Structure 1
Amino acid sequence: MLFPPVFMRFWLFIFAVLVVLLGVLSFNLHVFNYFSRIESISIAHCTPVSGIPGPEDIEIDPRHGRAFISSLDRRSAQSRGAIHVFALNDPLAAAGFRDRTMGVPEDFRPLGLDYYEDGDIRRLFVVNEAGPAIEIFDVADNGDLTHVETMSERRLMSPNNIVATGSRAFYVTNDVRGGRVGPMANLAFLFRLGSGEVFYVDGKAWRLEAEGLKFANGLALSPDGGSLYVAETAGKSVQVYDRNAVNGALRHRQAISLPSSPDNLNIDENGSIWVGALPKPLTVPQLLSDRKAHAASEVFQIDPSGAVSTVYRNDGAEISATTVAARLANKLLIGALYDEKFLFCELPKSVD
């Protein structure tokens, strides 16, 4: 029996769609280095510091020589997160292993954070995915944190990272419009759809300043405040925006391409961007249920001219799924999504 022409055209259409989808999937698997072998590189001497679960973001306070670390056991849905403060000249001091938030807020699952100082004002801004919201803390001389306020907005459904520009002003990334959890979010990442956003908050009003980003992640501000850097994780790039320091408006300037998927960003005293990156991001989800699994890690330095160099790369055996690198002088701290440790590294004098 011959099939009607309309029936044949329908199945030819379905077949063509499947071929296209498989082609796009194969291409994106290669883009995300899914089949690549990871060769180790390290120009730093690194020592693990254990006892801090999920040190996802690290922010350095250069004037006081200390690092704020966002911590959470992401394998436990009931776990409350913490903020730790480590002295860079004594990272094993007991004070570094206690939570500085005094238990406030009660429901606390921290992600990105940023330290802000202006005269007598010292504040820590923290993304709380449990809100979702932004938590603002005052910072005491010894690093203890006093909760000041919680800021949220209905459009901020999936906050990831933050950079402060004032005592209540900041930029924050919304990595996937609609939220990062669920099958649609996974497809948005896999097919590199541009639904990520950057909001600016002037202390009162929330304003969308950038959109169309392929999973908007880490943020950093140039030392002069004139440039904002945004990690585009699924786009394997750092997007650079000119920033109006008066009203916070952004204008896209350029994209810096990377061979891996960037997560959090930090700026050092020389104006270089330090990038914690995931060479094989599609292997990261398995870490949630398998403590023995590894996901490769990478750290880049982007100098003020935009030149990219690899400082660290590992298959995940030393530290798995690196999310952040923060540098002060010859000290480099490398954090991760699930590991119960971070790396404390000494950089050679040749690193500017």
Structure 2
Amino acid sequence: MNEIRLSALQLGELELMRAGAYGHALRYDLPGKGSHSATLLVPGTVASAGLTLLDTEATPIARVRVLETLPGDAGTWVGGLVEVLREPAAPPFAGLRPTAATAPVSDATLLLGRRHGRLDGTVIVVDSADAHALGQTVRGLRTDGLDVRVLPEPAAAHVSGADRTELLEHLASVVFASNVRVIRGEAAAPGEGLVVLFTGLSGSGKSTIARQVTRRLRSETSQRVTLLDGDEVRAMLSSGLGFSREDRELNVRRIGWVASQIAAHGGIAICAPIAPYESMRAEMRELAERVGRFVLVHVATPLEVCEARDRKGLYAKARAGEIKEFTGISDPYEEPTDADVVVGRDGSSPEAAASQVVAQLLGTHEGSYTI
């Protein structure tokens, strides 16, 4: 049985399901059933009839009997029945959430964004997986003597824009109040933190460019800059992982989590794994943009150039079948279509590529502005 570690928003969706927000049945539906159904999008393909769902502490909390699947651009949608195994790790403000079985009220205000202006009565705050922002908002409202409820935001990757607002309003009305009015607060300003992800084939030069960008930023900005290079992370953070798709995704997910923590505290994280799959890069972007900025740099050095400069002999071993699932040879590299910067395609030097990246990060071609 496959194991899937749920994201914070996917855990929120499971929490809503358990609270009856999607009806009495504990089940995931395919996205074609509409926005008011619980959905589950998992990376890669689903090869078994069952999935074990893990919480943020990698504890099995539920099992899905897979009844139907639907391939998508970012993974596979899964439909099936859910069996709860145990309680997940406690979320923030557990006593204010749908599963706490608090008595419903007649009227409530659903606050989307940061609070501004005067509020009264019951206020429903959305948990969008930013614990710091949630804590600030809840504490402020409770200090004013307001009745506060916390609505988990579901992953619902198939729902966006106005439909997402309507979904949140619907869920709030099911689990908390008969009548819900929506107030849009101020949008949360992005933090000063920054995550820069360099992606490219082995031997593309991404580590060399990333190191030069790190040195430049340390001299030209006042923020702390941390380099999370692919090889070093493999040795220190992900030793024991192989090179299967699942292990590669876990490696990048770990890098993304560490990078987002650095950004959440106002720092700059420079990351240089291969990150060959679009789904893992999208997940890393989502994590980073909750707390700050995200910049994707594609080091687009052609395969033949990477292979010609291969100092470790990895490509030769891959060609000979000695290394399985080697990116660019026996395993695909999904070229990004959403890169903020593309370097290396024209054979430019690492110095020139680093200057191009720094200019993008600092917002100037002179590189004189300090983040």
- Structures share fold, TM-score greater than 0.5: no
More helix by share: 2
Compute the TM-score of the two structures, normalised by the length of structure 1: 0.24
User: Larger C-alpha radius of gyration, 1 or 2?
Assistant: 2
Compute the TM-score of the two structures, normalised by the length of structure 2: 0.23
